[in-house]
Amino acid sequence: IPAESTVDMALMYVPAEAVYYEIIQGIKEVDIAEYARKKKIMLVSPNTFYATLSAVHHGYRDMYITKKTKEIINRLSRIKTDSEKLQDNFRRLGKHISDASGAYDDSEKRLTLLTDRVGNIVEIGKEDESEIVGDEEKDNTKERADVSL
């Protein structure tokens, strides 16, 4: 009964080899073996029973393996899609890191340049201050000399 998750065929066990042989060879007017095949009934005898069950078992096992293989392939396909997305994210992240590194290096160069320029201005200021202080001391010395006279 396929609606109840059973197979759509049946095994008919014929317990005597002689009777099984007569059925398979066909009776004069009626071909019972052909009729059974049309109705999805497999005739089996004591000698063919195990071989038939084994063949059916292997057939269903192959179907099961095929089904599981398809499931695995579908899962691998999803994993592949996810890995491609992850690969794109890593490329984008690498570009951002590269851009950030370049911006950091440029900023460091500008900071060094700015520090050097400010240092130069400070040096110029110190030189000017020492000249101004030196001129003031000369003036003060001269004034003191004038006052003491």
Q: What's residue 138's pLDDT?
A: 63
DSSP output for 50-82: HHHHHHHHHHHHHHHHHHHHHHHHHHHHHHHHH
Q: What's residue 147's pLDDT?
A: 56
Task: Specify the higher pLDDT residue, 2 or 45.
Answer: 45
Q: What's residue 25's pLDDT?
A: 82
pLDDT at residue 145 above 90? no
Confidence of residue 2 (pLDDT cuts 50, 70, 90): low
pLDDT at residue 78 above 90? yes
What is the pTM assigned to this prediction? 0.52
Confidence of residue 22 (pLDDT cuts 50, 70, 90): confident
Confidence of residue 139 (pLDDT cuts 50, 70, 90): low
Nearest to 13 by CA among 33, 43, 36, 40: 43
Q: Kindly report each contact of residues 19-25 with a partner whose C-beta sits within 8 Å and lies 24 or more positions away, as own/partner.
A: 20/44, 20/45, 20/48, 21/45
Task: Specify the higher pLDDT residue, 50 or 130.
Answer: 50
Amino acid at 90: F
pLDDT at residue 95 above 70? yes
